[in-house]
Chain A
Amino acid sequence: MARLFQNGKVWDSDEKAMVPSDLVVSDAGVIESLGSNLSVPEGAEVIDCDGCLLIPGMFDLHVHGREPGDEHKETLASCAEAAIHGGVTGLVLMPDTSPPIDSGNLVKSLQDLVSEYSAISMLPSGCLTKGRKGEQLAGFSGMANRGIVMLTDSGSSVPCPDLLRRCMEYAKDFDLLVTTSCDTTALTKAGAVNEGKVSYQLGLPGIPAMSQEIAIDRNIRIAQHTGARLHLQQISTANAVKSVSCAKEVGTRVTCEVSAHHLLLTEEDVVGYNTHFKLAPPLRLETDRLALVEGLINGTIDVIASNHAPHTEFEKSADFGSAPFGVSGLETTVLSIFDGLICPGIISWELMIECYSNRPRLIVGRDPVKIKEGEKAEFFVFDPEGETELKRDYFKTKSPVTPFLGKTLKGAIRKTVV
């Protein structure tokens, strides 16, 4: 059935503006017409979008789908639902499943699962090293042939610099993007929070900022040496932003991402021992947070990525030191950034769409989504005057574990079209 979206404002990616317009989506999910005062097509459903914005579907570069292996935390089906619920219409699945996706065959079986369970585009990535163990190269060519969009040991940083060098050299031949999390294991050790005032006050082992900074510097150096394309996940400190900025100045092929959590929260939020604030990398200082926001605005930071890493509430109910790192993010990234950065006028929708829709697609070789006649309909209806109460039953993810649980955020995602 065709649908008419009436009285909304549609993001025009050429004008870089929200333009008042009606919009008709055909039965086949294609944008048929766009313009003011469109008549209702025969038998079409009419959706009143008065006061709402129609925004291109977001694309998340960093999602832990958990299937296969950890279906109690999330399944591809629940992950897809959560994405749609959060305005995300495409994403990259991290390969840290059980088993880890480290061969062409495993990529194939993951793709089969995705096509069976998911209504949205969920692109596979593959491991850099076999079993994510950091010991030997995974089967790059087989995975490349199956269409993986990046290589990453996701969550593990490839501790051996020599091995990472070989990975990058080898990946370059396939023009595969090498993505790394940024952390120096020997410095992170059993750390649970940012090392500093809060770790001391709470008596929790700290993760020093230099743990990430050294890894970033190291990985950038190896990328410069090998000429491989490098994407840095979840940067979290002011020095990390500086390093990336310097690398970009000299033409290094490097991109990086930041999460909504690191853009909005700091180590001070951890003070109540709430494990919903236990993230990898950990939440840092206010000065770091401000540097990240600045880096996003000046383009040093290319993309926003949720690092959707669900763990069940039960798993998160352990003490802070033992609880697993990571929280859900697919359903809160758009809302929390609207509430914390767009509403107060710190960043614009243009930057948000650039960082969470266009650039992440470009990084994995996909075309940005546009709301234009003849294009596939991939957008969401956002009500900037609405409010969203993030209660447990709001969430579609199997693990509604997020720092924003229980909060009420400005804005509401009314509908996502894919």
Chain B
Amino acid sequence: MSELKPRKDLLDIESLTLDEIEYVLENAVPFKQLFQRSVKKVPTLRGKTVLNLFYEPSTRTSSSFEVAANRMSADVTNFSVSASSVVKGESLLDTIETLQAMRSDYIVIRHQAAGVPGIVAQHTRASVLNAGDGYHAHPTQALLDAMTFREVYPDFRGRKVVIVGDVLHSRVARSTSTLFNKLGIEVGVLGPGSLIPEGRHGFMQRFGSWDEVFDWKPDAVYLLRVQMERQEGQFFPSVSEYHKMYGMHSTRVQRMRELGCYLMHPGPVNRGVEITDEAMGYEKSLISTQVENGIAVRMAVLHWLKPETQLD
């Protein structure tokens, strides 16, 4: 029925075809339905091993992958490497050799350096799932965002989303905007000039203020996490100024409500920075749906990718 070519790795969104995107997003739906059963587990990946390799701390993403793998009956090994313990001199290739010896079927990797999952993928027969590399890509986040958006807007084509915050340093913004564009969803951005890669991306419309955003009548507002570690007065003067200019608070929530606009956020949120406690309670917030869909999408991705570990 389907003429999709099997794919070993999921490294970014750019390289995905529309058919592949549709395939994963459509398959994620039945996976999500499993969560309604008392037995949430299926035996699909029985006997397979998933290595969760996190070079950057992330409880959310790593647990989401772990839950996804568990629900498919795979054995999961968590392997977190704090940046400080990465011994200089041990090259990436040495690490890959070690991983190869562990004979995992799937390697979920997060790394602070862009491109590392790609290097790992080239050197291993396991399927590599990029769980975030530097500022480069976070493809499963993009897929779960798309799934979430499509659930509330089955007629998603031509709809509009505005991404707010540090677009320049965000792999989420990169992957999600790329995927939304592929799906025919318009993406605009709002944020300080120092954090918006203006002029380099024709497809992103930039807004100067929330008023302009609301005039555009977006169907969803996607708040990015403010990277507190980048808050050294280099990109914006202060957190309070950021909050005032770009944060989501009750007045802006009211405008959202009037427009029927949904709220999204990749998590974890910085309460009081990009969003107030009050705004967190907005009835059209999709934040927890995003978390749930994250598991379904990751199951669909595990189901889709084909490791080369079964050869010979």
Give chain A's interface residues, CB within 8 Å of chain B: 196-197, 200-205, 272-273, 314, 317-322
Contact = CB atoms under 8 A, between A and B. Distances in A.
Contacts, number: 55
B249 interface: no
Contact of B114 (A196, A197, A321): A321
A327 B46 CA distance: 47
Contacts of A205: 135
Interface string B120-156: 0000000000000111110000000000000000000
Interface in B218-240: none
Given A272-B118, A317-B93, A317-B119, 16 more contacts: A200-B168, A200-B174, A200-B197, A200-B200, A203-B134, A203-B137, A203-B171, A203-B174, A273-B115, A273-B118, A314-B93, A317-B91, A317-B92, A318-B91, A320-B115, A322-B113
B81 to A, nearest CB: 14
Interface string B155-194: 0000000000000100100100000000000000000000
Residue of B115, B133, B174 contacting most chain A CB atoms (<10 Å): B115
Interface string B62-106: 000000000000000000000000000001110000000000000
A70 to B, nearest CB: 16
Given A203-B135, A203-B137, A204-B136, A319 B201 contact: no
A320 B113 contact: yes
Contact of A319 (B116, B168, B197): B116
A395 to B, nearest CB: 21
B92 A203 contact: no
A317 B14 CA distance: 24
A321 B91 contact: no
Nearest to B137: A203
B200 A320 contact: no
A202 B91 contact: no
B91 A203 contact: no
B229 to A, nearest CB: 14
A321 B118 contact: no
A206 B109 CA distance: 24
24 contacts: A200-B197, A200-B201, A201-B14, A202-B114, A202-B115, A202-B136, A203-B134, A203-B135, A203-B136, A203-B174, A204-B114, A204-B134, A204-B135, A272-B118, A273-B114, A273-B115, A314-B91, A318-B91, A319-B114, A320-B113, A321-B113, A321-B114, A321-B115, A322-B113
Nearest to A271: B14
Interface of B: 14, 91-93, 111, 113-116, 118-119, 133-137, 168, 171, 174, 197, 200-201
Contacts of A320: 113-115
* B133, B174, B197: most-surrounded residue (chain A CB, <10 A): B197
A196 to B, nearest CB: 6
- From B114, B118, B171, name the one whose CB has the most chain A CB atoms within 10 angstroms: B114
Contacts of B171: 203
A321 B135 CA distance: 11
A325 to B, nearest CB: 16
B200 A203 contact: no
Nearest to A192: B114
A128 to B, nearest CB: 30
A321 B133 CA distance: 11
A135 B79 CA distance: 45
Contact of B92 (A196, A197, A318): A318
Contacts of A200: 168, 174, 197, 200-201
Contacts of B136: 202-204
Nearest to A273: B115
Q: In the complex, which of the residues A197, A201, A322 has the most CB atoms of chain B within 10 Å of its own CB atom?
A: A201
A220 to B, nearest CB: 27
